[in-house]
Chains A and B, each alone.
Chain A
Amino acid sequence: MTEFITEEMTLNMGPQHPSTHGVLRFQLTSDGEVIHSVKPDVGYLHRSIEKIAEKVTYHGFMPYTDRVDYVAAMNSNFAWALTVEKLGGYQVPERAEYLRVIAAELNRISSHLIMLGVMAMDIGAVTPFPYFLRERETINDLLEELCGARLTYNYIRIGGVSSDLPDGFRDRALRFLDHFEPIIDEFNRLITYNEIFVNRLANIVIIPREQAIAWALVGPNLRASGVKWDLRKDEPYSIYPQVEFDIPVGKGEVGTVGDCFDRFIVRVDEMRESSKIIRQCLDKMPEGEIQSKLPRQLKPPKGEVYVRSESARGEMGYYLVSNGGLNPERVKIRTGSFSAMAIMEEVSKGIMIADMVALISSLDVIAPEIDR
């Protein structure tokens, strides 16, 4: 009888693969179904946004920040505005701060809706996806009324925002939230606690607390591992100190803390918190200016600054060096998806290929955000 020879198989997952959320390639070495090593190959969506920043003005870079993370473009705008304002010491009117937070939190909800829907679809549940998208559609309509665009908002300006709330926006936003909060429970009935779904996610790819910190996971991925760290609370910016909200963390509800299910449920809970923030902001919002007087040709003083803010995918940081001229000297963008990609290689040893699909979507990576 001849000896049965087995060898490892190298497999390419992507760049065109429905579960890689954009153009992203993984080089897998697998023994049948079990993965031995995963090498993420990033860079297919590199659009040299950081280099473009050196060629355009400070105001002119704002539309490009939309393209860094197009699913949560408002948060990306917000981070860039905060960075330039910190470097130049520009003031922002209070009403504009409230408008920014309302827009950013609405966008956070819509970004999480996409993630939850897509994750369910990757696992194999196609039905929830249109339900999640239906809710996102209402948010898109609201943001379209507010700033005129559905995806690449370019709403937040340095020193304020581009436009005030349109007539009736407050009522429509509150009506949406009234409708949306019970819908989250409906989603939980529809998919979250479905036994098959739970079995697919619970105890899969556990990232313990220490490992999550050591690999610099950020945002909801970090919180799912049980670390209570949210820049909106721990390093507050804008008007976040004045609103009350909780930080949901992974509790290991059906498995172990830091598994794929925790990364899913943390985002579900975060949508509730975001909706709480929007309600408070709509109530507390003062009257007044929405844009402070700044020169059209912005020339922040010489210097460098790093500002981070909590985007839907975690910490979004802009490192900006200014030489006192019209264009930035250097811009470096740090994004949550990039940190999430880094940990892939470490945690995916020994898991099944089907579980890796769950892992990728649970980390909520957006390919253009990895590459910029």
Chain B
Amino acid sequence: MATTASTDAVPGFRGTYFGRIKNAIISIMEGMSVTLGYLLQRPITIQYPDRTPKPVKDTLPERYRGILELDMKTCTACLACERACPIGCIKIEVVKDKETKKRYITRFDIDIAKCMYCGLCVDPCPGGAIRHTNEFEGSTSDVQYLVRRFVPPGERIEPAKPKKKEKEEAGAEGS
């Protein structure tokens, strides 16, 4: 089977020698006319970060999946986000006080360095406590600063009471 195209198998396939030179000049001129059309237009590129008219953060769409944020006031400690996360970048610890039989969150860490911003943790959250922000500039001098601790070490926070409907949903997930 003739599969290869060796160099001598390519004769002058489009016209004569001079015809091809003419074609080359015409088609280059045509390409130039396209680029010339853009010469007088305003450039579409912008210089990031200091020359943007307003911060890039404010121009992002509403659904932008940036760094995760948690509202501790609405978190019910149902652990749905921890279970949904494919890489396990969310770590939640809940303790039960034996006397009062109340649950307390002692740890809620999100490792932003591991997070891949997939948004799978936001979907199952019953109260909308965990959500993506528009924040995307997260560079720090040390990788450990990228672990966002929403419960200060040594403290314990009482989780919000789930509404009735949410409670059922949260219960169904655990099964």
Contact = CB atoms under 8 A, between A and B. Distances in A.
B39 interface: no
A228 B35 CA distance: 35
Contact of A149 (B26, B62, B65): B65
B14 interface: yes
A53 B61 CA distance: 31
Contact of B116 (A152, A198, A254, A351): A152
Interface string B60-103: 11111100000000000000100011100000000000000000
Nearest to B62: A166
Nearest to A56: B86
Contact size range, B: 35 or more
A34 B7 CA distance: 9
Interface in A281-308: 295-297
A238 interface: no
Contacts of B145: none
Contacts of A206: 2-3, 5
A59 B124 CA distance: 12
Report whether over half of chain A's contact residues are helix, strand or loop; otherwise say mixed: loop
B108 to A, nearest CB: 20
B3 A63 contact: no
Contact of B9 (A34, A203, A211, A297): A203
Nearest to B132: A148
Nearest to A130: B45
B141 interface: no
Contact of B63 (A148, A195, A348): A148
B61 A148 contact: yes
A349 interface: yes
Interface stretch (A98-106, A139-147, A270-278): A139-147
21 contacts: A57-B86, A61-B86, A62-B120, A63-B120, A144-B61, A144-B64, A146-B63, A152-B117, A166-B61, A195-B24, A195-B26, A196-B27, A203-B9, A206-B3, A208-B2, A208-B3, A295-B172, A296-B173, A347-B4, A349-B3, A351-B5
Interface of A: 34, 56-57, 59-64, 66, 127, 134, 137, 144-149, 152, 154, 162-163, 166, 186, 189-191, 193-196, 198-199, 202-208, 210-211, 254-255, 259, 295-297, 346-352, 355
Given A60-B84, A147-B63, A186-B34, 19 more contacts: A145-B61, A145-B63, A146-B63, A148-B64, A152-B118, A166-B63, A189-B34, A190-B35, A194-B24, A195-B20, A196-B28, A208-B3, A211-B1, A254-B14, A296-B80, A297-B175, A346-B3, A351-B5, A352-B7
Interface of B: 1-7, 9-10, 13-14, 20, 23-24, 26-28, 30-31, 33-35, 44, 60-65, 80, 84-86, 116-120, 123-124, 132, 172-173, 175
